[in-house]
Amino acid sequence: MAPSAELRLESVFRRFGEVRALDGVSLAVESGELLTILGPSGSGKTTLLKVVAGFEKPDGGRVLVDGQDITSLPPAKRDIGMVFQNYALFPHLTVRQNVAFPLEMRNVARPEIDKRVGETLALVELAGYDERLPRQLSGGQQQRVALARAIVFNPRLLLLDEPFGALDRKLRETMQLEVRRLQRRLALTTIFITHDQEEALVLSDRIAVMNKGTIQQIATTTEIYERPASGFVADFVGESNIFYGTAGADGVVTLAGGRTLNVARKVPAGKNVGVLVRPERFSNTAINAFEGEVIEAVYLGSSFKIRLKTADDFAVIVRLPARGKLPAVGGRVSVGIEPDEIHVFDV
Amino acid sequence: MKGRHGLIAACAIIYFFLMLPLLVVFPISLSSAPYMQFPPPGFSWQWYERYLDDPQWIDATWRSLYVGVATAVLALALGVPLAFSLVRGKFFGRGILDRIAMAPVIVPTIIVSVAVYGLFAKLKLIGMWYGLVVAHTVLALPFVVLVMVAGLRDFDRGLEQAAEGLGASRLRTLMRVTLPLLRPSLVSAGLLAFITSFDEVVVALFLSGANMTLPKKMFDNILMEIDPTIAAVSVMQIVLVTIVLVLIGRFGRGLSATAR
């Protein structure tokens, strides 16, 4: 099998009336990589996918696959496999006919079609379901058919548009891992769209966080989680405590109300910065202490989730390993955080 | 539950008064008397035999059948693209076109008949079966458009997008996805168009001349010589239309879904 393609977008614009759905988006997806586009609804991520698939024409910019400009190519000529949000299986065709569809459209010979449909159905563990109609399948099975149909013709790219949204939690987790396994095995360049940050962290090689038609940050999953580039990314991905303040000398950030935090990163004095503290990074150290009243305490099995309110009016979310007794609401708790666990970002 | 009983009773009464005149035709068609009499004095097949032995009746029946089929075909050929353009097109005058397509339902048939008669007389189309097909198509078109527009409004265009994304051209998308999925609407529209033509008498009175359709022949028969043959013909027509309606119910898109 030929190595999967690489995709490049060069300052792509798309406007709907006054709304800038895509406001100069540039990105590159490497061959065999799974890139997740993560963003809230209305961030432009679905428009981005449609531009790549060819269902939307951009107002400006270029889409390149392996260096070839496909911006004005119709969808049928792009050789891109896509799994739609609602699967879009053809209800009048059987599982076999659905999966055979893209091959028939490419005028592949009948024996070859039968062979590849059989192989692909086996790959998604649906062998034996050939003659069923989509409505006779469960949600997870329909999803597998949609996936089989999208990969059976060895597409240059695979696009997944929030495919797990309709599945229940357990099945969703199974399917996520299965899609990832399949994608790795076929080394298929894949763009995955979701608004679920947890899903993005599980599945991706890299994540592009989108908001208001622009890419806020594009980086590996750990980078996005540990070192978000902006308050938006920090807030959107994972639980977070975000504070804003002014950098002073020697790695000290002064927050509102005069509270100071010692941070590891050197920032020019006088600069306004944002500070991110992940709830699970708090410990019982005395450095950068937050002491306050417990407003809310929840037992989550593996951890306690505690909401603190300090005397100088800071609301802080803390996660502590679930050992011993859950702190009582109204009681007092003190936690601290090591300077190198604090992430400082520019504002 | 009490309200439900009332509803059933009301429906029963309505059915009784609407259906009874139709049902009376059945015993009369099997009457042994040479004139319309109810209840019939005895049993006989003679009126069916007379119908089947009379080339004029058989001729009229065949004509009605092929005029009906041709009308259905022509009405679909015009109505389906029209429905597509009304639902999916964005062009100047779409609203007006929508209303024009529906006009034959609103304009009294007698007015259409006189107008078409005037035109067809000049074109020497009176007495030609294909002239009648053209006129019937005008009457059937609104039903085809109505059914197809409803079908297309409910159609999930995501499926067409999916087909194109998987490599299908516009034409193959239409043939493999769109039309097969619209088949129930197509069946309903075609059969409705057929019935519209098959039952139609006013336009046929004006246009068919000596080459009569079945309803026209029945009309003439009632005027000239009233005997139970007409009852036998009615029975056969009722049976045929019932079969068509059952087909619509079985293979077509329900009319209730269309009315939404």
Instruction: Determine, for residues A92 and B167 on separate chains, whether the beta-carbon distance falls below 8 Å.
Output: no
Residues B136 and B33 in one domain: no
Show Cβ contacts of residue B231 under 8 Å, excluding neighbours closer than 6 positions: B25, B26, B28, B29, B31, B36, B47
A224 pLDDT higher than 80? yes
Same domain flag for B223 and B110: yes
Of A128, A150, A140, nearest to A174 (Cα)? A140
* Long-range contacts at A53-60 (CB < 8 A, ≥ 24 apart): A53/A78, A53/A80, A53/A82, A53/A159, A53/B165, A54/A78, A54/A80, A54/B165, A55/B161, A55/B164, A55/B165, A56/A14, A58/A12, A58/A13, A58/A14, A58/A22, A59/A13, A59/A14, A59/A15, A60/A11, A60/A12, A60/A13
| Token pair in block for residue B257 | 């879904």
With CB atoms and an 8 Å threshold, state whether B163 touches A82: no
User: CA of B192 to nearest chain A CA: how many angstroms apart?
Assistant: 24
A307 vs B2, higher pLDDT: A307
Closest CA to A43 of A173, A200, A176: A200
Instruction: Give the domain-ending residue among A179, A203, A231.
Output: A231
Closest Cβ–Cβ partner in B156, B169, B181 for A76: B169
Could you tell me if A58 and A158 lie in one domain? yes
Domain tally for chain A?
2
Partners of residue B182 in chain A, C-beta under 8 Å: none
- Residue B219: pLDDT over 80: yes
Query: CB neighbours (10 Å) of residue B236?
Result: 16
Are residues A166 and A250 both part of a single domain?
Answer: no
pLDDT of residue B258: 46
Answer yes or no: is pLDDT of B259 > 70.
no
Residue B5 included in any domain: yes
Do B35 and B141 reside in the same domain of the chain? no
Residue B14: CB atoms within 10 Å: 10
Domain check: are A252 and A116 in the same one?
A: no
Q: Which two tokens stand for residue B93?
A: 């005058």
Average pLDDT over residues A118-128: 92
Average pLDDT of B45-56?
A: 89
Instruction: Provide the pLDDT confidence category of residue A2 given band limits of 50, 70 and 90.
Output: low
Q: How many CB atoms lie within 10 A of CB B143?
A: 23
Measured CA to CA, the distance from residue A182 to residue A164 in angstroms comes to: 15
Residue type, A170: K
Residue A74 belongs to a domain: yes
Supply the CATH number for residue B119's domain.
1.10.3720.10
Domain boundary among A196, A231, A266: A231
Kindly state whether residues A78 and A223 are assigned to the same domain. yes
Of the given ranges (A100-109, A243-252, B57-66), which has the lowest mean pLDDT?
Answer: A243-252
Residues A29 and A155 in one domain: yes
Residues A202 and A252 in one domain: no
Residue A148 counted as domain residue? yes
End-to-end Cα spacing for chain A: 46
* pTM for the full predicted model: 0.80
Structural domain count, chain B: 2
The stretch A28-46 carries a mean pLDDT of 93
Question: Looking at residues B197-215, what average pLDDT do you find?
Answer: 88
Q: Are residues A247 and A296 in the same domain?
A: yes
Beta bridge partners of A303: A321
Cβ-contact B165, A80 below 8 angstroms: yes
B158 part of contact set with chain A, CB < 8 Å: yes
Q: Is position A1 within any domain?
A: no
What is the 8-class DSSP label of residue B176? I
Are A189 and A312 in a shared domain?
no
B248 and B55 Cβ atoms separated by less than 8 Å: no
Report whether pLDDT(A144) > 60.
yes
User: Residue B188 falls within a domain, yes or no?
Assistant: yes
d(C-alpha A144, C-alpha B150), whole Å:
32
Same structural domain, B98 and B214:
yes
pLDDT at residue B260 greater than cutoff 60: no
Pair B9, B107 in one domain: no
Q: Quote the tokens at residue B110.
A: 């007698």
Q: What is the CATH number of the domain that holds A184?
A: 3.40.50.300
Residue of A55, A91, A101 with shortest CB distance to B166: A101
Do A217 and A245 lie in one domain? The reply is: no
B10 domain residue, yes or no:
yes
CB spacing of B164 vs A79 below 8 angstroms: no
B245 domain-assigned? yes
pLDDT band of B150, cuts 50, 70, 90:
very high
Residue in A88, A90, A102 nearest the CB of B167: A102
Mean pLDDT of chain B: 88
Query: Is residue A175 domain-shared with residue A246, that is, in the same domain?
Result: no
Q: Are residues B79 and B206 in the same domain?
A: yes
Question: The domain containing residue A277 runs over which residues?
Answer: 239-346
Average pLDDT across chain A, whole number = 91
Q: Over the stretch A101-111, which tens digit does the pLDDT of each residue have? A: 999 999 999 99
Tell me, yes or no, whether A168 and A76 share the same domain: yes
Given a cut of 70, is residue B2 above it in pLDDT? no
Residue of A nearest to B180 (CA): A92
Contacts (Cβ under 8 Å, ≥6 apart) of A219: A206, A207, A227, A229
Give A203-261 as a DSSP string.
Answer: H-SEEEEEETTEEEEEEEHHHHHHS-SSHHHHHHSS--EEEEEEE-GGGEEEEGGG-EE
Whether residue A126 lies inside any domain: the answer is yes
Residue B224: pLDDT band by 50, 70, 90 thresholds?
A: confident
Give backbone dihedrals phi and psi of B231, rounded to 5 degrees, phi first.
-65, -40
Name the CA radius of gyration of chain A, rounded. 24
> If you count residue pairs, one on A and one on B, with CB atoms under 8 Å apart, how many are there?
58
Both B147 and B232 in one domain: the answer is yes
Answer yes or no: is B49 within a domain.
no
- As a whole-number percent, the residues of chain B with pLDDT over 90 amount to 47
Does residue A198 fall inside a structural domain? yes
> Which alpha helices (H) appear in B199-228, and where do they start and end?
202-207, 214-224
Q: Is residue B52 part of a domain?
A: no
Q: What is the CATH number of the domain that holds A302?
A: 2.40.50.140
Domain membership of residue B20 (yes or no) is yes
Q: Taking CB atoms and an 8 Å limit, are B161 and A153 in contact across chains?
A: no
Q: Which residue did the predictor score with more confidence, B36 or A168?
A: A168
B197 and B92 part of one domain: yes
Say whether both B31 and B70 belong to one domain: no
Confirm whether the ipTM is greater than 0.85: no
A70 close contact with B: CB closer than 8 A: no
- Indicate whether B187 and B231 sit together in one domain: yes
pLDDT-based confidence at residue A299 (cuts at 50, 70, 90): very high
User: Residues 6 or more apart from B153 whose CB is under 8 A from it?
Assistant: B87
Same domain, B136 and B9: no
Give pLDDT, residue A116.
Answer: 95
Give mean pLDDT, residues A198-211. Answer: 92
* Amino acid sitting at position B65: L
| B167 neighbourhood in chain A, CB within 8 Å | 76-77, 79, 102, 105-106, 153
> Residues B247, B215: one domain?
yes
Residues A341 and A285: beta-carbon distance below 8 Å: no
Domain-located, residue B116: yes
Q: Are residues A60 and A193 in the same domain?
A: yes
- Judge: A88–B161 Cβ closer than 8 Å, yes or no: yes
- Residue A264 has a pLDDT of 85
Span A174-194, average pLDDT = 92
The residue range of the domain holding B90 is: 59-259
Contact state of A90 with B162 under an 8 Å Cβ cutoff:
yes
Which of the listed residues A215, A231, A247 is the one where a domain comes to its end? A231
